Chain A
Amino acid sequence: MALPDLQQNYFQLFKLPEQFALNGADLGERFRQMQSQSHPDRFASKSPHEQRVAVQYSALVNQAYSILRKPLPRALYLLELAGMDKEQVAAQKMDGGFLIEQMDLREKLESIHDLVDPDAFLEHLIIEIAADIKSHEQEFSSAFTDRDLNGAASACVKIQYLEKLLQEAEQIESGLLG
């Protein structure tokens, strides 16, 4: 007899179709229903063995939810299921326009300390990056629907670039705030 299959397909676990588009409210509802059945708190007065099973199940549901809930992990997971691993995704070539745009954003970020009101500027920049990420998610969605895996992967790499930049911006922000 086996314990929960930790390798099982997250879409199947949530009984959802394997696609990028999903209804966030529905996913959340499924998640809460599954946690209502598996969370260790439901087993707090049960035997340690039942608690152990609960921790494993609950952690699996959390893991699946964390991948499905956010666009980039969900996109990468779909590529993985389609047979494209992380190295293949990372090997995608970026077009020149995107790279120039990246350099431009990065320069803005680096010059931030010279500004009079870096706080407000940073807030702006963060919003701009977030909007860029949204548009590349659209790009992924249509490419993946058309089974253009390379196109979909390249959208993922762009999102990765932008998310890294976003993280740096946030780090600078917390540094500014001291």
Chain B
Amino acid sequence: MALLQIAEPGQAAAAPEARRAIGIDLGTTNSLVATLRESKPDVLVDAAGSVSLPSVVNYSSPGRVSVGADALALAVQYPADTLASVKRFMGRGQQDARDEARRSHYILAEGEAGMVEFVTSSGRISPVQASAEILNTLRKRAESVLGGDIDGAVITVPAYFDEAQRQATKDAATLAGLPVLRLLNEPTAAAVAYGLESAQQGMIAVYDLGGGTFDISILRLHRDVFEVRSTGGDTALGGDDFDNVIADWVLGEINCGPLDAGQHRQLQALARAAKETLSEDEVAIIPLDEIADKGAQLTLSRTTFEGLIQPWVKRTLHACRRALRDAELAPGDIDSIVLVGGSTRIPLVRNAVADFFQREPLAGINPDEVVAIGAALQADILVGNRPEGELLLLDVIPLSLGIETMGGLVEKIIQRNTTIPVTRAQQFTTYQDGQTALALHIVQGERELVADSRSLARFELKGIPPMVAGAARILVSFQVDADGLLSVSAHEETTGARSSIVVKPSFGLSDEQISTMLEASFSHAEEDKTARVLAELCVSARALIAGLEIALAADGEELLDSEERAALNEQMERLRAQLSGGEVEPLRAASDELGRASEAFAARRMDKSIRQALAGVSVDDIAQEINK
């Protein structure tokens, strides 16, 4: 029985020409950009015809940044100025980054809010800035192919990325001048690509082993809805680790003095080449002319290699087991397996995954491109290029969110694998007479002690009216939006004196920092800011009026009384009058006012469409009863 479809009138009017939407896979080792052309996904190539952009940025000559293959070519000569695998440093403090840095030859420093920065010949560079260079290169590539500005981008992140890592990614996109429609989890993107390609239904496990991160996601595809059931992983486990064990093995086999930074980079490259060879061949020869003596070489067999990486592969399977348990499923319940990431080319990895899930993985789409393709599909939907009713993604938060309580313990407010968006409120009280402020410390992770968790933000709620201990009722609300980003607000309820605060987690860049960086960098520097702001406001005000008119024509009579209709019409007129006024502030105010006034109408329309949708289910339900 077909369910009642609610037509969204706004959509029909907005479809005349396709908007330019792109999907970006911002990877640890390589990054890609894809788009939809004539409804077919297409991974875009650069001028030299290559699809993947190495995620490498070189800062050796001040004032001139090089990105991709050009930067990679400078890595041996300028190890400290050539930033590779920066994704592993995104949203990380210096403490967290120490282990990562041990391997690399970067000089680290502490930047804003304790975040790590690299010291280069061009000054201090944050991982966010380096990522922005990569995104900017891909943006330009897409603009030249598509012939104009990008209307919206979906950028993928590992499902297991925490709040800080997500925020850092979003900051990098802003810095690169990309309008972000959504941060999308990489395994979800891969599932979308496969789901649309082959209409796979049922339970899907996505095993994503990339250069630096591992993700496992369990999803259910039912008609056009992807529901992520659970996700797990490790943001510091990937193909880079396999390179490292090979490099360590080499150093154990030969006797050589301490390597310099350039030799270290070379050894990493040799290790990587050997790893790639072993996906095809039984043995790999590692030439060591530059590292040990002239003519020296080592032979690494696939068996030895598999022994070396076994512990890492085992760790990924344990994460798979936990994700299955979170989804309340057994390995045999999975209908299809999707492999993502270059590291899944390793035979040991493929076999281990197939054994674990008792099923052969799907292999229709190139594992290096599948994430970018899925992101492009989602971008196309979000930007409004597709008729309504197609494909919906319901994703989850990967790590629990909580708050510090007495004794350094964590009280979880939102559990991991909760579907987003989500809002949760929790009540707190004062513990001293006359207490007028309450400090809140927000943390993320599964551990019970604050000391073992990731600290996200600290903020203080001030202005609590003095009362006896325990009398205040402080409601703290957490909201995680569809990007997986958190905002927290708090207010005191008893006295009617409401004060509330929205925190942006302390690791993120402030809006001010971003705009300063934007001005200092490549984009929009010479444009007239006011004119741009005014133009943008006019566009959104016109869209607001147009949308509201359509909504009023459709549901105004039914859902609003004549007084409410008159009030909305009046506010609409006021906004129309401001459109020709040419002044920013009154236009913004009139826009906000009309927007706020229309929210309740929007809510009633939502109520109505939900009621109608459920009426459809009830019919199904009866059919199901009869079939029993």
Residues of A within 8 A of B (CB): 1-4, 6, 14-15, 23, 25-26, 28-30, 32-42, 44-50, 52-63, 65-66, 126, 170, 173-174, 177-178
Contact with A along B544-585 (1 / 0, CB 8 A): 100100000000000000001000000000000000000000
Determine if B37 is an interface residue (Cβ-Cβ < 8 Å).
no
Which residues 511-564 of B sit at the A interface, judged by CB distance below 8 A? 540, 543-544, 547, 564
10 closest A-B pairs by CB: A1-B600, A49-B595, A45-B384, A33-B613, A44-B382, A177-B318, A37-B609, A59-B423, A53-B602, A32-B225
Query: Which A residues lie within 8 Å of B383 (CB)?
Result: 44-45
For B248, what are the chain A residues with a Cβ–Cβ distance below 8 Å?
none
B200 within 8 A of A: no
B346 interfacial contact with A, CB 8 Å: no
**A36 shortest CB reach to chain B, Å:** 6
Assess whether A59 is in contact with B382, with CB atoms less than 8 Å apart: no
21 pairs from A and B in contact (CB 8 Å cutoff): A2-B603, A3-B600, A4-B603, A15-B618, A25-B624, A28-B227, A30-B614, A32-B225, A36-B392, A36-B613, A38-B609, A41-B392, A42-B392, A44-B382, A47-B598, A49-B599, A49-B602, A53-B606, A62-B418, A63-B424, A177-B314
* Contact between A57 and B418, CB atoms less than 8 A apart: no
User: Among the listed B14, B616, B620, which residue makes an inter-chain contact with A45, where contact means beta carbons less than 8 Å apart?
Assistant: B14
Q: How far is the CB of A19 from chain B (nearest CB, A)?
A: 15
Report the nearest B residue to A4, measured CB to CB. Answer: B603
Taking CB atoms and an 8 Å cut-off, the chain B residues in 159-187 that contact chain A are 181-182
**Residue contact A33 to B617, C-beta cutoff 8 Å:** yes
**Residue B242 interfacial (CB < 8 Å):** no
Most buried by A among B314, B322, B392: B392
Q: Are B392 and A47 in contact, with the CB atoms below 8 A?
A: no
Q: B331 on the interface (CB 8 Å rule)?
A: no
Count of chain A to chain B residue pairs whose CB atoms are closer than 8 Å in the complex:
149
- The answer to whether B595 and A42 have CB atoms under 8 Å apart is no
Question: Cα distance A14–B618 when bound, in Å?
Answer: 10
A26 and B621 in contact, given A41-B392, A41-B393 (Cβ under 8 angstroms) = yes
Instruction: Kindly state the separation between the CA atoms of A30 and B624 in the bound complex, as whole angstroms.
Output: 14
Proximity string of chain B (590-628) to chain A, C-beta cutoff 8 Å, 1 when within and 0 when not: 000001101111111011011001101110110010000
Cβ distance B496 to chain A, nearest Cβ, rounded Å? 19
| Chain A neighbourhood of B225, CB < 8 A | 32, 35-36
Any chain A CB within 8 A of the CB of B325? yes
The interface centre, meaning the residue of A15, A44, A61 with most chain B CB atoms within 10 A of its CB, is: A44
Nearest-neighbour CB distance to chain A for B352, whole angstroms, equals 15
Q: Check if B313 is an interface residue, CB within 8 A of chain A.
A: no
Contact between A47 and B547, CB atoms less than 8 A apart: yes
Query: Shortest CB–CB separation between residue A66 and chain B, in angstroms?
Result: 6
Does any Cβ of A come within 8 Å of B498's Cβ?
Answer: no
> Is B422 a contact of A63 with CB atoms below 8 Å?
yes
Residues of A within 8 A of B10 (CB): 46
Give the shortest distance, in Å, between A58 (CB) and chain B (any CB): 5
Other-chain contact of A26, B544, B607, B624 (Cβ < 8 Å): B624
Q: In the complex, A26→B623 CA distance in Å?
A: 11
From B389, B596, B599, B600, name the one whose CB has the most chain A CB atoms within 10 angstroms.
Answer: B599
State whether the Cβ of B146 lies closer than 8 Å to any Cβ in chain A.
no
Collect the chain A residues with CB atoms within 8 Å of residue B418's CB: 62, 66
Q: Which residues of A contact B543 (CB under 8 A)?
A: 47
- Chain B residues whose CB sits within 8 angstroms of the CB of A61 once the complex forms: 610
Contact B621 A54 (CB under 8 A): no
A129 CB to nearest B CB, Å:
12
A3/B599 in contact, CB under 8 A: yes
Known: A26-B617, A28-B227; 16 extra A-B contacts, CB below 8 A, are A1-B604, A4-B607, A6-B423, A29-B620, A33-B613, A37-B609, A39-B392, A40-B482, A41-B482, A44-B182, A47-B595, A49-B602, A54-B606, A62-B419, A170-B322, A170-B325
Q: Is A55 touching B613 in the complex (CB atoms < 8 A)? A: no
Contact A62 B617, beta carbon cutoff 8 Å: no
B381 close to chain A: CB less than 8 A: yes
How many Å from the CB of B131 to the closest CB on chain A?
23
User: B595 contacts which chain A residues (CB < 8 A)?
Assistant: 47-49
List residues of chain A with CB within 8 A of the CB of B382. 41, 44-45
Note all chain A residues with C-beta closer than 8 A to B314.
177
B437 within 8 A of A: no
B511 nearest CB across to chain A (Å):
16
CA distance in complex: A40, B392 (Å)? 10
Tell me if B150 counts as interface (CB < 8 A to partner A): no
Docked complex Cα distance between A173 and B317 (Å): 13
A15 to B383 Cα, complex, angstroms: 33
> Shortest Cβ distance from B30 into chain A, in angstroms?
27
Partner of B322, one of A1, A56, A174: A174
Cross-chain contact A37 with B547 (CB below 8 angstroms): no
With A3-B603, A62-B422 known to touch, is A174 a contact of B318 (CB < 8 Å)? yes
Q: With a CB–CB cut-off of 8 A, which chain A residues contact B422? A: 59, 62-63
Q: Which one, A1, A15, A47, A52, contacts B614 given CB within 8 A?
A: A15
Q: Which of A35, A41, A45, A54 is the most central at the interface, judged by chain B CB atoms within 10 Å of its CB?
A: A45
Closest CB of chain B to A168's CB: distance in Å?
10
Find out whether the CB atom of B547 lies under 8 angstroms from the CB atom of A46.
yes
For B394, the chain A residues whose CB sits under 8 A away are 32, 35, 39
Nearest CB in chain A: distance from B146 CB, A: 18
| Distance, CA A15 to CA B622, complexed state (A) | 14
B3 is an interface residue with CB less than 8 A from chain A = yes
Smallest CB separation, A126 vs chain B (Å): 8
Take A49-B595, A53-B606, A177-B315 as given contacts and tell me if A28 and B613 are in contact as well, using a CB distance cutoff of 8 Å.
Answer: no
In contact, A47 and B421 (Cβ under 8 angstroms): no
Query: B325's closest neighbor in chain A, by CB?
Result: A170
Q: Which residue in chain B gives the minimum CB-CB distance to A44? A: B382
Those of B166-216 within 8 Å (CB) of chain A: 181-182
Write out the residue numbers on chain B whose beta carbons fall within 8 Å of the beta carbon of A57.
Answer: 603, 606, 610
Contact of B388 among A14, A32, A42, A53 (CB under 8 A): A42
CA–CA, A39 to B393, complex, Å? 9
* Chain B residue with Cβ nearest A36: B392
Give A2 to B423 CA distance when docked, in angstroms.
Answer: 18
Given A33-B3, A37-B6, A53-B606: A47 and B540 within 8 A (CB)? yes
A55, B600: Cβ atoms under 8 Å? no
A34 touches B601 (CB 8 A): no
Q: Which residues of B contact A49 (CB under 8 A)?
A: 544, 595-596, 598-599, 602
Interface residues in B210-253 (C-beta closer than 8 Å to A):
222-225, 227
Which A residue sits closest to B541, measured CB to CB? A47
Min Cβ gap B284→A in Å is: 29
Separation of A123 and B393 alpha carbons in the complex (Å): 32
A151 to B421, CA, bound (A): 36
CB distance from A118 to the nearest CB of B (A): 13
Q: Please, which residues of chain A bring their CB within 8 A of the CB of B76? A: none
Q: Does B104 contact A (CB under 8 A)?
A: no
> How far, in Å, is A14 (CB) from chain B's closest CB?
7
